A and B are shown apart, each in its own frame.
Chain A
Amino acid sequence: MKVKILRQQSPGSAPYWETFEYDGPADNSVAGALDYINYHDDIINADGKPTTRIGWECSCLQGICGACAMVINGRPALACETFLRDLKGKSVEIRPLRKFPVIHDLVTDRSSIHENLKQANVYIGAYQPAEDGDHAHQYAAAKCLKCGLCLEVCPNYVNGRTFFGAVFANDCYLVASRNHAEGGRIRALYAEHFGKTCSKALSCMEVCPMKIPTLASIAKLNRKKG
């Protein structure tokens, strides 16, 4: 199998494609394949030339930390839970998330996700839950990995300067539901940075590794109470 990777040596340098021949186990995930290419032997590209090791992030390797978010065959996904056997064709194309600055190869700086939440002051403060709170949905929303896949796929999200995306909407919902008294302020923020711009493509829900029902967060925040 050919593995084609969009690489970049450092934040300011020019990106370039490099292809590798993968002859490792067929049941590997993309994360497993990257590890195999890097460390099974000396790293040599498909032209037979020695090259540098591929940079990518990982931590849990079981789909619950969001580190290995990247674009695989055009689809934003976690490398550790995307299996080679499920990919069509005899080659796979991998590139870094393009909505975030590249640090090195497939490693991107996703700190804008946190910066936006911090700037908007989205935190619970005093715990005053709504009496009719939807516990199951709160649990689901709190599983957000802050991986950025929802932003990568979103047609409305550009660079995070004004529209903050689904990750923001879900945290807004969580705060509003856990501190009812903050609901008004949070809803205003939600409207400004999400509600008025979201075109409801809902592609965010399709790529979310945690299957967070963002539409339900939207519906609950659009209601006057909840």
Chain B
Amino acid sequence: MKDVLIIGSGISGMTCAVRCAALGVHVTLVSPFPSERSQSVMAAGGINAVLPGGEAGDSVQSHVEDTLRGGCGLGGEKAVKGLCEHGGEILRWLESIGTVFSVDDRGRPLRRAFGGQTHKRTCYCGASTGKQIVSALVMEARRFEAAGRIERRLWCCFHSALIRDGVCHGAMLYDEARGGLEAVYADAVVIATGGQNALFGKTTGSTQCDGYAAGKLFMQGAELKNLEFIQYHPTTMETPQKRMLISEAARGEGGRLFIRDGGRKVYFMEEKYGPGGNLMTRDIVSREIDAQGGRAWLDLSFLDRAVIDERLPEVRDLCAKYGGIDVTREPIPVQPSVHFFMGGLAVHLNHETNIRNLFAIGECASIYHGANRVGGNSLLAAIYSGQVAAEEISGRTGGMHPADFSGDVERERRLLEKSMDTQSAFPVMYMRDMLAETMRKHLGIVRSEQNLAQGLSDIDYDLSIAERIRYDASVMPYFNFSLTAILTLARATVTCALERRESRGAHYRSDFPQADGALGFATIIAYDGGSYSVRLDKERAYES
């Protein structure tokens, strides 16, 4: 293939771009803002890789087993094997492009323990691993930009894919700076837009990740997978601004969770699960905190000052700045909060969706993490998936004669102009806020039929009025045209949660508290003109 259009310029999108460019494919890399603003810079803790000279007894097989166990049987075995086998190679590549890893006195990457893993295999860059990787990737992408092999398009938002007869021919983009819609044709389109944070309002993640692309593509025929599996990170700090993530690195370095019972500190995780209790998988820790009333304390104050200053400076600074907390002297008040989406666009092993030439990578794709992601695997998956998609795209024959979508562009342009021609002062954000309230209330850590049904009914109401309201046109048009797809994605998510009548990984049903062996398959949901159909992927169609 000659031309690829990549939507999203975080770690996954940039990796795909760099690999495509290296393999001779011309890349158009689209994002509203530069890569430094992507959610990837917020990934704090680290990246998993089994390296020579690692912890005794560790192996790729052990990494595979930890990942599959964490995913409660829903992570695809072939996919996970590929992911873990490439950990070492990916780490060496990241180092070769200049990522500043934390290293020992012989220059070898240091490793820390992370939740749900049998060995210390999470390599890291202080507590700003994502940021350091972004900085290195930006420089590497710049090399190809200077050579004209990667062309960045800033200020551009994804509007919709150009799909005809099950084949993707490019995408319609909305250019914020120029204020217009345009069709961009390509041999392949790669979606790398991150998770669907906006469904829940303010999460630990970026305000830029809203799930719109996944929602819109769903409405255009792309299948979604495992939407009910939403990771609540156990340790986030509430501030007026947002939920601040307290990296799992804090517990990886020895931090302990406790609750207060009168004047006594109760280390509830250690009492129930033993010495490693603080580093159980995130779904378990979040549920335990929820059972304790939803709040706990994370204590780092007993750690050596040097450990905090050298390995957790970002955690120290974040708590001081936004919480007024000196972590060397006092514990951090923490609550679980939405952090990561295991579900997203359903993709095959080559990261292609059910629509030919439409790929998805990074958090917006669902393939490796099953019912629960273990810490340190998201950065690995972001990079690996970008590489896999690039290899597939570069190896294919392209140059199909593009279908003509000018009529579609004109129609969408007229619709957009019509929606802007209003004196309405009602901002679309109020609709997004209503949705977030619904999702937080009805799709929390513990769910039930009754609760989910109420959520579904609320979203149906929102959907029934969404297109009848005129929205304040002084808000960026993207926010206005993205609403219906975001609501549709929310409806699909609640539908999947209703359909899974069992508890597994991050999906816990109080009315079905046990796992059901007969349901140990991925959920697939499809959309057709307003109807939603859910099935279990019993034939494992997406594991090929």
Contact residues in B for A118 (Cβ distance below 8 Å): 142, 145-146
- Among B145, B146, B206, B240, which residue has its beta carbon within 8 angstroms of that of A32? B240
Are A59 and B177 interface neighbours, CB within 8 A? no
Are B472 and A145 interface neighbours, CB within 8 A? no
Contact residues in B for A28 (Cβ distance below 8 Å): 240-241
Q: Is B59 an interface residue (CB 8 A)?
A: no
Q: Is B322 an interface residue (CB 8 A)?
A: yes
Q: Is A29 an interface residue (CB 8 A)?
A: yes
Which stretch from A50-58, A195-203, A217-225 is at the chain B interface? Answer: A50-58
Which stretch from A14-22, A61-69, A87-95, A154-162 is at the chain B interface? Answer: A61-69
Chain B's nearest CB lies how many Å from the CB of A174? 7
Are A39 and B429 interface neighbours, CB within 8 A? yes
A-B contact count (CB 8 A): 135
Interface size of A in residues (CB-CB distance below 8 Å): 57
Are A61 and B241 interface neighbours, CB within 8 A? yes
Are B425 and A50 interface neighbours, CB within 8 A? yes
Query: B205's closest neighbor in chain A, by CB?
Result: A60
Q: Is B96 an interface residue (CB 8 A)?
A: yes
Interface string of B119-163 (1 = CB under 8 A from A): 000000110100110011001101101100000101100000000
Task: A138 to B135: give the CA distance in the assembly, Å.
Answer: 11
- Among A29, A32, A43, A125, which residue has its beta carbon within 8 angstroms of that of B425? A43
Interface string of A165-185 (1 = CB under 8 A from B): 000000100110011000000
- Among B38, B103, B125, B146, which residue has its beta carbon within 8 angstroms of that of A123? B146
Q: Is B58 an interface residue (CB 8 A)?
A: no
Query: B93's closest neighbor in chain A, by CB?
Result: A127
Are B476 and A55 interface neighbours, CB within 8 A? yes
Are B126 and A139 interface neighbours, CB within 8 A? yes
Task: A175 to B102: give the CA distance in the assembly, Å.
Answer: 18
Interface string of A136-151 (1 = CB under 8 A from B): 0011001111110000
Chain B's nearest CB lies how many Å from the CB of A75? 17
Contact residues in A for B290 (Cβ distance below 8 Å): none
Further contacts, 4 of them, CB under 8 A, given A31-B241, A114-B152, A127-B96: A65-B41, A122-B142, A124-B139, A143-B131
* Residues on A facing B (Cβ under 8 Å): 11, 25, 27-29, 31-32, 38-39, 42-43, 50, 52-53, 55, 57-67, 80-81, 103, 109-111, 114, 117-119, 121-127, 135, 138-139, 142-147, 171, 174-175, 178-179
Closest 9 CB pairs of A and B: A52-B474, A123-B143, A142-B135, A124-B98, A127-B96, A178-B98, A59-B37, A59-B206, A139-B100
